[in-house]
Structure formats: C-alpha cells, structure tokens
Chains A and B, each alone.
Chain A
C-alpha cells in the first residue's frame, strides 16, 4: 500500500487515490483532422513498462485533484510527483 504525497494535501494512504493510466497523452486539438490510425493511437495505445513509468493519479477521496507520478513499476518506488501542466523531468 503506497504512501502518496499529494501535491495539495501531503502524504496520504493509497486507498484515497485512484490511478488514471499513462500520463502526458494529450487529447488531440483537432481530432477531425486525424486518420483512423492516428486517432486509434491516441485512443487505445498505452505503454506498460517494467521500470520507470509516468502515470496520472487522482486524489479521489481527498482534494479530487489530478497530478502526475513517476513510478518504478518493478518495485513500486515513487520517484517523483508533480502537478498537472508541469513538464515531466527529462532524465
């Protein structure tokens, strides 16, 4: 059970949170311009990495805010948490 440091509330138990899948997948600004393949890429394709993964999390039973998390899926270590709209770390 993770201990997650919500950027708005502080450390809380994992059961207050909801995972929201891969982070930094931006909704296309002009969906109508996209081919079926391009739209399908946005709609369905997600990474499932063993190792460092960028994820979205929501403090569902708390402040209801979404934020980003960098997690090592091989040992569940949370490397970094940062707010929505902030750039992911480059390294």
Chain B
C-alpha cells in the first residue's frame, strides 16, 4: 500500500531532510516542508477518517484550513495531545504521531459504518426526533454517540507548554500574504505606515507562487517568478513586520483583532522544550486590509465524498507546491476553467489525466484550448451521476445533462480513476469581514457574497472582494489602495499584467443523477454529514429560515463552520423555495475562524496566576503558623490555625473560647478602608449611611449601614472621625472596591456640589485586632503611655499613638462583643506590629484566630455579615435593625424605598435567631425552614444563613431569615433534612451578653 507518489521538483520541499512520523500506529516518511496531509498523500494514504453520522470512509479533501474531513488527534496519550487538528495544517516533524479520530475501533473497520447502511432511517432532525424520547434513555444514547462519533479526546495531563499574550498596535494590518496582501503591505510600509502582515501558512505568496506560468505573466515573466522577487524585497522594507504561521481568529469592532501565532507546533519535541508554543496577538490596528483570498467550492452530486475526491485546487497544490501526485489516474469535474489549470499542471508533470467532465457546453479560453491540444478528453455538458470505491475511489459514472441542467439523459459512461478533482467555482473568504460587523451583498451573476459596507476603517482586496483574475486583482488593488491609504501612487502602477479574462461558469447547486434523490447521497456538509436531501426534507417539514435549516440539518455546524458547503446549502434552499439567494441571507460566521487552544486563550494566566491574590503584610506569619486559608474576594485570609493535629471544629472551638476567656488576635488588614476628606464630608456620610453623622465628635467611631437605592442592605462598617473634615471609613473585605465605586458615582454624578475626596487606603494600613478581657493589659504593654481608662478611651472612640516612634491609629471597636482594640499601622510595619502583639500577649495566652472564629463570635452576638445573612433582598427593617435607620434625616440613599408597598409587607423574610431543641445538633447553612410538615405543596418560610456550635454557650446557635419571623418569637418550626426533621425554636438573634456588659469589662 505504501508507495512513493512524489513527482520531481518542488522548491518548497527539502528532499534532503527525511522526516519519519506515525499515522494510526504505522510509520511513514515525508520530507521537511510537508504537511501531514501531503506526506500521507505521498504515501498513497487517502483514507484518514470516518464521517460524523454515517461513518463513511473519508479522505483528504483540501490543502488548507477549510478541511472538513482530515481531522486528526495529534500525539495521543501524551501531555501534548490535541484533538480536532486539520491534517492539512500540521507541519510534520520527526516523531510526530497522529491518529484518525472519527472511527471506533479503527479507521479500516468501523463499527459505526452500520449507520451508513441504515442511513435511510437517519434523516435530518434524526437526533432531535429520536434522542428526545424517552428522556431517561438519553444517557444510553449519549454513550453511544460519544463512542462512535469522533469528537476527539481532550488532554488529561497538565499542558507542558508556555503560552503568551502580546498587544500590538499598528497603522495597517494586512491579513493574508497572497499577491494582494504582499503588494498592499509593501506599499503601506513604503508610505510610512507601521505595517504588520500575517499569514496562516509558513510561506508567503498564496496561490500565485505556484500559478500557471504560461497564462499569468507580469512584465513578461511568470507571475510566480515576479512575486518571488517581490517577496525577497520585503525584508529590506522598514516599518514592515511579517508574521507567518499566524492566523487571525477574530475580527471585532473598532479594528480589534485576535491572532494566533504558532511558534513551535512544527518543531521536534526537544526543540519545543521551554519555548513559547503559541502567542495570542491582541491587535489594535488603525486600518485593516483583508486579503484572505477565496476558497474553492466542491460540487454536490451523488456519492461525492469518497476518499480520492478532492478539490481541484488542492490536487494542483499538492503537485505544484508539495511535489505529490494525489492519484495515478486523474479525472476532473468542473463548472469553470479552474480545473483546466489543475489538469494542465498534472499533464506538464507527466501525471496522467484521463478526462475532464464539464457541465458547461463549451469554453473558449486559452487554457481550455491548451488542454484540448494536450489531448485530454473533455466531456462537455456532462455530469458525474455516481462514484464507486469504498475506501478509495476507483471509477466515476457520467451522463449527459439536459439543456436546463435539471435531468440527465443518454447512456452512462464509466471512467476509471483514483482521484477526482472537483471544481465548483470560488467563494470569497468573507468570514473576518462579517465578524467585524460588515454586511454582504449578493452578486447574482457570479453567485458570490461580497463585502458591501465596511463597518470600520478597513478594505477587502483581491479574491476576497470578488476579483479572481490576476489582471483584475492588480488593477483594483491599485485603485483601492490609493484611496484607502490616501496615497498618490503605488509601486506596481506601471507593471504589465497578462492573464486569462474568460471564465464563464454555470452553477447547478445540486447536480442531477439518474437515480431518485432519495436513493442518492449528495453531501453538502462533509464534516456533519448533511446531504442535499436533508436540506430538502427540512424545507418540506416547514423550516424556512436559513438559521433554522442550519440547526435542523446541522449544515455548517462543524468545526469548519461549513466553509466548503454553506453556499450550496443556500443555493439548494433558493432553488427549492424559489427565493433569490441574495434575499435568503447567510448564516453568521463566528470567531474563531479556526479553533484556538485553551492555552493560547489564557496565556500566562494559569495556575496561581489565573487570578491575582492579595496578601496581608502578616501573611508569612500565618503561613509559618500553619494557618488554613480562606479566599475572601481576592484576599487570602487566615481561616483557622489548627494546633497539634486539630480538626477545623476543634481549632475553631478553642480559638473562640480563648478570645472570650483571655485574649484573641485577628489580622483585620483586609477590611476595605476609604479615606474621606473635604468640607462636606459629614454631609456626604449623612447621605450615604442610614444613620446621622453630623454630630459625631472628632475622635469617635460609629457603625454605619449602607443601602442601595432600592432599600436593600449593601455594605456595613465602622467609620471614624479623624478631624473636622476627615473620616476613615471601613467596608467589608469583599465589598471595598464596589463601595468606593458607588460612592464616587454619587459624588461625581448626583452631588458634584459636595466638596469631598475619596481615596482607597486599604493596602496602605495593616490592622491587628486584639479582643478579650485581657486586651486592655496587652495594649497597655505595647503602648504604655496611652491612657486606656474608659473615661479617656471609651468604647467607639479613637486615639493616635506611637509604637516605637511609629505612628498608629487605635480604635476601640468590637465585632466580637468583647472589649477590643484595632491597631492600624503603615502596612510595611504590619509584621512587626503583629510580632509585638504576640510577644506582649504571651503571658495571657493570646490566641490568633481566623475568619471562622470571627464569624462564630459575631453570630453569638447576632451581628450580621453582609453577603452571608443578607443577599440583596434584605432591608434594615428586615434585619431588625430599625435602630440604625434615622427617622429625622430628610433623605439618604435608599430611604424612599423603605416604605414602598413591597418593603413594608409584614410577611417579608426577616432575620431571627434559631435554637435547635437538641442543643447538640448544628444546622446546615442554607437549610430550608417550614412550619407545617404535612403540607402539600410544602411552603418554605425561609432558610438558615449562619450556624455554629457555640463553645461559650455550649449549644448550637443559628441565624435565619424567616417569612414574618419578627412576630414568631418562641414559635416552633421545622427543618426537614434528607434523613430526619430537626425541631427548632425562633429566638432573639443576640445569644450572648445581651446587655453588652463585656464591652466595658
């Protein structure tokens, strides 16, 4: 089977460097410069996969990124494996391993092939109709589909490669380095535009560098030789950067494009090591020139999918560029002149062309004459009605087309061949243009969609704007480039271009066969196995919109987004329904143009770099003390400090007891801190908090509750008046950035007349909070000259002090209900402050505690945590915090909402305490609460928001929100759990030290 199908001479293949690789476990050889596809073809391997639905054998169809069939898994079972890779884009290297993915158990014996035999029973919508019901069967269907359909395997090991992101700003971005792109980039750069030229291939020049030499000439030499000289000149041009192996994945608004630069995929394993594999380019271009070319169309006829049936342009490229003959007996089937150029290319290399089948009745172009002269048989007005060969094409049958092209007549002629090049005309690659928001117009004469209105500063040039002949390309490029770049002249104004002018073609979207359509398989979308008859069935079943037909038949929904077949689908719909193609519209092309790896998308933001962490100045101490950490917003906070193999429960119980019996210490540095200054600072606080601030004396602290305009609690914290016009506000750890944003919003947009300045100082201070009956003694050791008497330094007040000449702010405030102090120092002294506190507290067994103990202690006191006991639907009244809502103030944010008809309802969910009848049972946070057990349907009254076992009360306590809970004091409620029902009693949420005696202890 393995044989060498190389033809002599290709300057792009280095025949001195032999490369061995494996495909489906078998070793093959190719040369440096080969793609996986060209190397396989050189070994006479066409069969590379199975189709998605019917599991028909499929071969390599194209030579580019539009490939629908040759989808492979590379380097399976290694940490570099990747599914859904197009064999036509993989450059081979020593040691490459690839395998077919659309087959199980193997490409030659495929169990799903049975689908092909029963395909009459798998029409359009089969999956929708069948797998919908019965629904509990879905798991079985899914297992079957996943095993038999080739979705490829995701890597399971850690990606060993490095990826990168790069921002690029340029004056002109040129996408595509065919002749149009090269000339556009060169002239842009020469006119002082900073220019970037990208192409998805590894060589510049597109199709022109292997264009027919005889019929395409520039200044009396072949266009390919002329272009090669131009390419050579590019390296001497300033302002021009060129990136090959770079494909543009997305073209967004405002000329923002995403590209993928492939740096190591073509290298051997040892060369890949420690190199950046792929780079995501984030390109912001002042101007964009799209020169993305055109894709050749297949023809839609019965059994048009056998291995050996390829695009005519691909057959030519494999011969010209890679030096590979795709078949020994070649036949072409065409509706235009393109196939003749391919036939002539093979003929000139001594490769046998048996016949050309042309659905037209004649063509007078020079190239057709040349083919006739070469003695190649042309069957005018004929069409292929069937093909044969299961795993490889062996012959085609042709018949004469009627004048209107609707039916076939006469005798069937069989022509043997192992390769059929099909040429259905060209589709401009307008994908990126439409992604950018561009609208298309339909050219009825040429049956193509062309760019119409540009949504940004961009143009399309070359064949992606509908220019297919060299002369037309060059002339229009000159005109458009001058206008677009506002330049007087281009350097190719005076060249003399000779190319074919004639290119008559006729379009028959679905070619007739001698068999009834129901008995044929004319594929429109190869990757998703959608045939013309599926589309017709969808139309019969009432689907009209192209978007609906697409989804019902899955046409164009594969990883190739139907790059080959979408036009035929549209054409068949138009023909069947009698609507003009231009009026049908097209489906939407979505980014990415070709698939992107996750690695490229995330770049360096992997592992610990995925999201930034914020750490307090005391972080090292927490780590040394074996703290378990909790993520709070972006902060890493000490959660609890297990000693001697304690469980979390044991550690939290110990910490909680110690804080109330002697002394505890908490790293409170993460609390949000906003410095507020200005002559209207007091008035500002009056407007943003529910309580009154004007009368707060300098040196005093006050707790504040902040609402949204809808009356719901948004944030809380203690604010201290440092001076006449100077406050420091603390916010919740997670809410700091949003609170600042909200306050800025009101200041700038609603109350610009207020003289207030806000500065975030969260990171500027480190905070140690010492609480417990011995906290006063400890603080006295640290700051001996500060008078800590209740008269001089009462609860809710503030003092400036110094510790070793370092300024600090000390607040006597409490979130635990204990006598406590918060000491704030400049962040860089945070660690030494902490060490001092630990040292001074040693004799009192000062116990560091984390967020879990903090939560427990405040729950004992019934203090809320915004975001845990509230969820954006709780008013202060719901929280039984009426005391903090000023009745006297005329207005504050959210005030009016507190007496809307909805917020004054008696049966709103309200915060209450819950005690379990069995004091040892700790409720689950989130557990639902009911009042009747035998109700149907059962009515949920609310849920548990906070729940702990209190070591200081020696019983379980909980906070909950309960419908009408305010009036339920003492009422028995139930919490039904999976295996039991827990009886609870509604209680006062302040469980511990109700008269706050300990604050002044």
Residues of A participating in the B interface, judged by any CB pair closer than 8 Å? 1-3, 13, 18, 20, 26-28, 30-32, 34, 36, 39-40, 43, 56, 58, 60, 64-66, 75-76, 84-85
Contacts and interface: CB of A to CB of B under 8 A. Distances in A.
26 contacts: A1-B254, A1-B256, A2-B253, A3-B284, A20-B745, A27-B709, A27-B750, A31-B895, A31-B896, A32-B895, A32-B896, A34-B896, A36-B900, A43-B709, A58-B744, A58-B745, A60-B741, A64-B741, A64-B744, A66-B744, A66-B745, A66-B748, A75-B437, A75-B455, A76-B254, A84-B752
Contacts of B256: 1, 3
B284 A13 contact: yes
Contacts of A40: 900
Contacts of B253: 1-2, 75-76
A1 B252 contact: yes
B749 interface: yes
Nearest to B750: A27
B254 to A, nearest CB: 4
Interface in B852-899: 890-891, 895-897
A54 B254 CA distance: 19
B710 interface: yes
A40 B901 CA distance: 11
Nearest to A38: B896
Nearest to A65: B748
A75 B749 CA distance: 27
A31 B711 CA distance: 13
B847 to A, nearest CB: 40
The 9 A-B residue pairs with the shortest CB-CB distance, nearest first, are A31-B896, A1-B256, A3-B254, A66-B748, A27-B750, A76-B253, A1-B252, A39-B896, A36-B900
Contacts of A2: 253-254
A43 B749 contact: no
A32 B254 contact: no
B891 A32 contact: yes
Which residue, of B254, B256, B710, B745, has the highest number of chain A Cβ atoms within 10 A? B254
Contacts of B897: 39, 43
Contact of B741 (A1, A58, A85): A58
Contacts of A31: 891, 895-896
Contacts of B752: 84-85
Contacts of B745: 20, 58, 66
Nearest to B902: A36
B748 A84 contact: yes
A31 to B, nearest CB: 4
A29 B455 CA distance: 42
A36 B901 contact: yes
Nearest to A33: B896
A18 B737 CA distance: 13
Given A76-B437, A85-B752, 15 more contacts: A1-B253, A1-B256, A3-B256, A28-B896, A32-B890, A32-B891, A36-B900, A39-B900, A43-B710, A58-B744, A58-B745, A65-B748, A66-B749, A84-B748, A84-B752
Q: What interface size band does chain B fall in?
A: 20 to 34
Interface of B: 252-254, 256, 284, 437, 455, 709-710, 741, 744-745, 748-750, 752, 890-891, 895-897, 900-901
Nearest to B747: A66
A48 to B, nearest CB: 19
Which residue, of B709, B745, B896, has the highest number of chain A Cβ atoms within 10 A? B896
B427 to A, nearest CB: 25
B250 to A, nearest CB: 10
A38 to B, nearest CB: 10
Contacts of B437: 75-76
A13 B283 CA distance: 11
A58 to B, nearest CB: 7
Contacts of A3: 254, 256, 284
A7 B822 CA distance: 42
Contacts of A56: 749
Nearest to B453: A75
A73 to B, nearest CB: 12
Contacts of A43: 709-710, 897
Contacts of A36: 900-901
A85 B254 CA distance: 27
A6 to B, nearest CB: 13
A58 B890 CA distance: 29
B391 to A, nearest CB: 48
A74 to B, nearest CB: 10
Nearest to B737: A60
Nearest to A67: B748
A6 B284 CA distance: 17
A3 B254 CA distance: 6
Nearest to A44: B710
A73 B752 CA distance: 29
A41 to B, nearest CB: 12
B919 to A, nearest CB: 44
Nearest to A60: B741
Nearest to B252: A1
A30 B895 CA distance: 11
Contacts of A75: 253, 437, 455
Contacts of A66: 744-745, 748-749
A26 B709 CA distance: 13
Contacts of A39: 896-897, 900
A27 B901 CA distance: 20
A31 B890 CA distance: 9
A58 B746 CA distance: 12
Contacts of B455: 75
Contacts of A1: 252-254, 256
A31 B687 CA distance: 13
A3 to B, nearest CB: 4
Contacts of A60: 741
B437 to A, nearest CB: 6
Contacts of A34: 896
A47 to B, nearest CB: 18
Contacts of B749: 56, 66, 84
Contacts of A27: 709, 750
A65 B741 CA distance: 10
Which residue, of B455, B748, B749, has the highest number of chain A Cβ atoms within 10 A? B749
Nearest to A31: B896
A76 to B, nearest CB: 5
A27 B749 CA distance: 9
B634 to A, nearest CB: 15
Contacts of B254: 1-3, 76
B556 to A, nearest CB: 25
Contacts of A65: 748
A58 B740 CA distance: 13
Contacts of A64: 741, 744
Contacts of A13: 284
A39 to B, nearest CB: 5
Contacts of B748: 65-66, 84
B752 to A, nearest CB: 6
Contacts of B710: 43
B837 to A, nearest CB: 35
A34 B897 CA distance: 11
Nearest to A3: B254
Contacts of B901: 36
Contacts of B744: 58, 64, 66
A1 B254 CA distance: 7
